[in-house]
Amino acid sequence: MYKRWHRWSTGLWNGKSFASVPEMAGNNNLFCSTFVHNDQEMYMKISLVDETMVTRNVLDISGQSKLFIWSESSQDWTVIYSQPKDQCDVYAICGPFTICNVNVFPHCTCMEGFIIASPEDWDLEDRTSGCSRNTPLDCISNKSTTQTTDKFYPVPCVKLPQNAQEVEVAASASECEQRATNKFTGKLGEGSFGAVFKGFIDDSIAVAVKRLDGAYQGEKQFRAEVSSIGTIQHINLVKLVGFCCEGSKRLLVYEYMSNSSLDVHLFRINHTPLNWTARYQIAQGVARGLAYLHESCRDCIIHCDIKPENILLDDSFIPKIADFGMAKLLGRGFSRVLTTVRGTVGYLAPEWIAGVAITPKVDVYSYGMVLLEIISGKRNSCTSSSSGGNLDVFFPVHAARKLLEGDAGSLVDHMLHGNVNLDEAELACKVACWCIQDDELDRPTMGQVVQILEGRVEIGMPTIPRLLEAMAGSTHSP
């Protein structure tokens, strides 16, 4: 059993009837209508001229609204009007990427290059799930042996739905293809798998287009990104707007982040330093994004490469986790997954070095390292002078010691000149040091990190990560 809810447009109210329902004006001898629309409320009131008359209004499974009146002479119900008259005008009757034709059954068919998204729904006469692209989704998942070439397909003899988004029409398909990056001239940055360029959709909506390089690595990253971030949405995850798979070309289109990546604001001298409030909100946002990936998706998604370069900031400095090229999907029936080492030196959990199966706790470790950099405004690879002498100490170890000494305030970026919430700074230091513990069982989950940073759960004092201390070659005791 299932339910479908549909809408259709009545058109504007002209004082007597709605533009798309002229029958209302023609039946004024049966009923009178009043339409109320103001700042407080919006409703339509129908009053019968003859109060002894019996009517009923039905919204049937097709999405049509029908008004019936009881006829004493024929002892039957008579249809006064039904809207919409064309079944294809029912909102979302067919879903995305479909063509509706009222003269055939079923009314809905997939556009060229698309396949039925949920065949089981269509079997139940529910076609609102629409269609999905035959490529590249099926192409990259090896689910289909028949592949459709990516190109612009003309669709003749159709009209767009009433709520369609207006786009500027190109003179030709080739002009449209050349719709977005100005031939890859505005480079935003470059990573290990390719470059990112600024582009525009409809000449006004900014996007970031990642062009993947390398036949093997580029293909692996393309598959990882589409299969992970391509199926989910969260305010703290960058949104994948679209993608292209044609021949050896692999393009990923993301929402554009106007304030670049977190590393630019933390480590570059010519940038105004982020204030403490912004830093703490960024720390919370990244934690929420990771918690969503680990705990709320259909499959647990392990990002595997959390670092400041992969945390983007929008125009309100809301953080969004990006670059899922190394992500690993972990089914809910499994607690660990064995995979090759992936990530960035300086943010890698000990499990990667040991070569054992990993859990989402590798992201927790990386988050802890990033959180220390958010606090200090410096790379963790930068050493800090020990208070007991001239020996340089690896910053995460130095941070753990200062925390135990009750001096978390000294770890905060000096560029803030003391404009810091010291309680939040100490709490953030505690969280960071718990996240980078040697044993993954000692680290909190990202869901717990969110609760701690929001002040809903208390946390004790962490120990110094001994493995980090040994790797740093330090001989000092706290």
Q: Which residues are catalytic?
A: 305
Q: From CA 448, how far away is CA 283, in angstroms rounded?
A: 13
Question: With the C-alpha atoms ordered 403, 406, 408, 410, is the resulting torsion angle positive or negative?
Answer: negative
Whether residue 304 contacts residue 220, with contact meaning beta carbons closer than 8 Å, is answered with no
Q: From CA 163, how far away is CA 160, in angstroms rounded?
A: 8
Residues whose CB is less than 8 angstroms from the CB of residue 295 and which lie 6 or more positions away in sequence, other chains included: 445, 446, 447
Length in residues, the chain: 478
The helix (H) or strand (E) run that includes residue 427 is: helix 422-435
Max Cα separation, the chain? 106
Whether residue 242 contacts residue 262, with contact meaning beta carbons closer than 8 Å, is answered with no
* DSSP class per residue in 334-395: -S-B-----S-TTS--HHHHHTPPB-THHHHHHHHHHHHHHHHSS-TTSEEE-TTSS-EEEH
CA angle, 117 as apex, 298 and 172 as ends, to 5°?
120
Whether residue 477 contacts residue 307, with contact meaning beta carbons closer than 8 Å, is answered with no
- Two structure tokens written together for 74: 């024929």
